[in-house]
Amino acid sequence: MVLCCSVTTAAVPVHVHTSPPIAVLSEENFISVLNKANAIVNRVTDTPAVVQLMIQLKEDLSQYNRTAIQDQLKQQFEDALYQGGIPPGNVPQLALFVAYSKVKDIRTMVAMHGD
């Protein structure tokens, strides 16, 4: 029996240019919201409900079942982000982004220009 394991990791820096440029204060506020959301998501990721969903992701799943788990994760993150005081207009998109990232094992970090 031959056992083979492959792990691919990559760090891809991304800088977003906007037109018109975002004001420094707006950018700082957005980064503050992202950092707060990240802290909330990190806390909820350790809850039994999310841990169980993450364990299920390790199984060989159909796309339908993987999407169902992603939807459940989105709901868990959405509930936590609302309760954590993230502006309501940002919550659905952030929750979907975080859930998708968890399902695809993508990690995102926020850095200021020049970091």
The domain segmentation of the chain, as residue ranges, is: 24-104
Residue 15 tokens read as 């800088």
CB 101 within 8 A of CB 108: yes
DSSP-derived letter for residue 59 is: S
- State residue 7's pLDDT score: 46
Average pLDDT over the chain, rounded to an integer = 81
> Which of these ranges, 11-15, 24-28, 39-43, 101-105, has the smallest mean pLDDT?
11-15
Preceding amide of 88 cis, omega within 30 = no
Summarize the confidence of residues 49-70 as an average pLDDT: 89
- Distances from the Cα of 90 to the Cαs of 22, 28, 35, 115, in angstroms? 17, 15, 13, 25
Query: In Å, how far from its chain's centre is CA 114?
Result: 23
> Which range has highest mean pLDDT (9-13, 46-50, 57-61)?
46-50
The predicted model scores a pTM of 0.73
Per-residue confidence at 79, pLDDT binned at 50, 70, 90?
Answer: very high
